[in-house]
A and B are shown apart, each in its own frame.
Chain A
Amino acid sequence: MDISIDDILAELDRDTTAVDHSDPSSHLPIPSDGNTTMMNSSFDPSRMPGGKNRLHEDVTPQKDYSRLMTLWRNERCAPELLPYPSLLLSRMLRRVQEQMENIENISMGFYKNTISGDLKNSGVSYDKTNEKLPLLYMEAELERVKFLLRSYLRCRLSKIDKFMLYLKQLDYDETNVTPLNELLSEQEQVYHSRHFAISLKLLNSSILKHMPPELQAINDTEGSVSMIDEPEWNKFVFIHVKEPSDHANEDPLLEKNEFGKLCYTVTIHELNEDVELNIGGIYVMRYGVIKDLLRNDKVELI
């Protein structure tokens, strides 16, 4: 992703006006992963249906959090590594940092108050535990956010390890739709390439260098078992079909079936079978079949 840190910071400061692409009501032909922004100047709100309204649909901490919640669940359930939502993550990390400072300031304030004894003389009935409650809530919430971020990133790291060679190969594959630098954050890229390097070093010095040259490859895909672990594209996953947004009639994927119900139609190629996915329904489906719907935020993994 050729976004410089300055761009990101500038974008973050515009939080209140930026269009939130994680909002399912957004119908730009871009992956709605909370990742894409209005970096390109071609953005023209007037061209978007209802664009005027959406400008006021701010990025809010609440929406970001619930988006991250969804992304965490998707990541945990998906057999492949999903794209890294870099803007969403930098916003969340920034909020964590600010909140930590905030909490520290408040608890210092308490300290001072207790020392000076102002409150005792103020005549207001003073309940110490009530006084500290907000702090307790904020800390409890902070722990929740930290856990979510940690669990999400650790899950990604374990997939990065699992698909170490596969990701390496993606890097060289020019036909690949999502380049590695959109799939991984900068830090994840560093982690991936360093872990790859030390793993290779280990295998090389303990085994491969003692092998005849023609047996030194670690990326054979021929033979009975490929050495490159690919995501299991056809693995079954549980999906929930999300409610369409207010602009449902503008969604080209959405159809009405014979019972007049809204649905998306997917094809299981291997079985030559079409399946209608009703809005609000829960299905067990092959991941490959619903992959695109997931990228477009039409379904979520549960």
Chain B
Amino acid sequence: MSLPEHLQATFSPDEIQFIVENEPIRIFPRITTRQSVRSRHRDQITQAKCTLITSDDHNVNQMVAMQSTELPLWLALLLKQQNKCSIVAPRWLTLQSLDQSISFEKKNSDRFSSLPWNWLVLAQLLFGKAPDDFHDPVHELRSRIQDLREVRQLKVLRGLRELNESHLQLDNLSLLEINELRPFIVGTMDKLRQIHTATNPESQPHAQAQLTQQDLDEPPY
């Protein structure tokens, strides 16, 4: 097989991260890439321009130290890795707003709070690669994220009772959560559908026993 089996039904965690890394994020650069008029006129060899083929390269070439700008996450993380920028944590990723989300989750048993579709992955990524860029203590943020994850998981598990052969609505469920639930939900619903089909003969395909009948009536040769 040209695609390994473990990648055929779902995405790997690495791939989920890859998807999320395309999203823009706000940073404070520690370097300046904008070329001053002076150096441009000086006919000197100036820094090579960064040309990108997947995102707008304007921002990365116009960076001024300590002036906030927006870059794709993968690029921001690369800069961060080299200590060339600090990352501005998204607004929902503070103790205060995480507490709000948690209390929303607890109050509403039938809905998920509207966190961004990549909240879990983004939080994990930033905790791992930019822990010094948060105002709140990272270990506390981490434990809030864990709480949030658990309270949502519980809700999902309770909701699994509703699985049926028709459909399911899961608004605000994030990418990683979907990916983790996918095998179970799809597997169960596919089975329920098959059972429904098998027990409702009118919706069953008719081909089943054709060979049998024909061959009994007259041998093919």
Contact = CB atoms under 8 A, between A and B. Distances in A.
A8 interface: no
Interface of A: 61-62, 65-66, 69, 73, 76, 95-96, 98-99, 102, 106, 109-110, 113, 118-119, 122, 124, 129-131, 133-138, 140-142, 144-145, 147, 151, 154-155, 157-158, 161, 214, 221-224, 234-238, 268, 270-271, 273, 275, 278, 280-286, 302
B185 A236 contact: yes
Contact of A124 (B31, B44, B52, B207): B44
B189 A284 contact: yes
A271 B167 CA distance: 11
Nearest to A112: B45
Given A147-B18, A271-B165, A65 B55 contact: yes
A236 B190 contact: yes
* Residue of A110, A147, A221, A271 contacting most chain B CB atoms (<10 Å): A271
B182 A282 contact: no
B186 A235 contact: yes
Contact of B78 (A102, A137, A223): A137
Given A69-B22, A137-B75, A140-B74, A102 B170 contact: no
Contacts of A135: 48
B51 interface: yes
B26 interface: no
A141 B171 contact: no
17 contacts: A62-B55, A65-B53, A73-B11, A76-B11, A133-B84, A134-B48, A137-B78, A151-B15, A154-B2, A158-B3, A236-B185, A275-B166, A278-B171, A284-B168, A284-B170, A302-B175, A302-B178
Interface string B30-69: 0100000001000011011111111110001000000000
B190 A134 contact: no
A12 to B, nearest CB: 14
A144 B19 CA distance: 10
B211 interface: yes
A282 B167 CA distance: 11
A157 B2 CA distance: 6
Contacts of A282: 169-173, 178
Nearest to B61: A134
A76 B197 CA distance: 26
Interface in B2-20: 2-3, 7-8, 11, 15, 18-19
A27 B15 CA distance: 32
B1 interface: yes
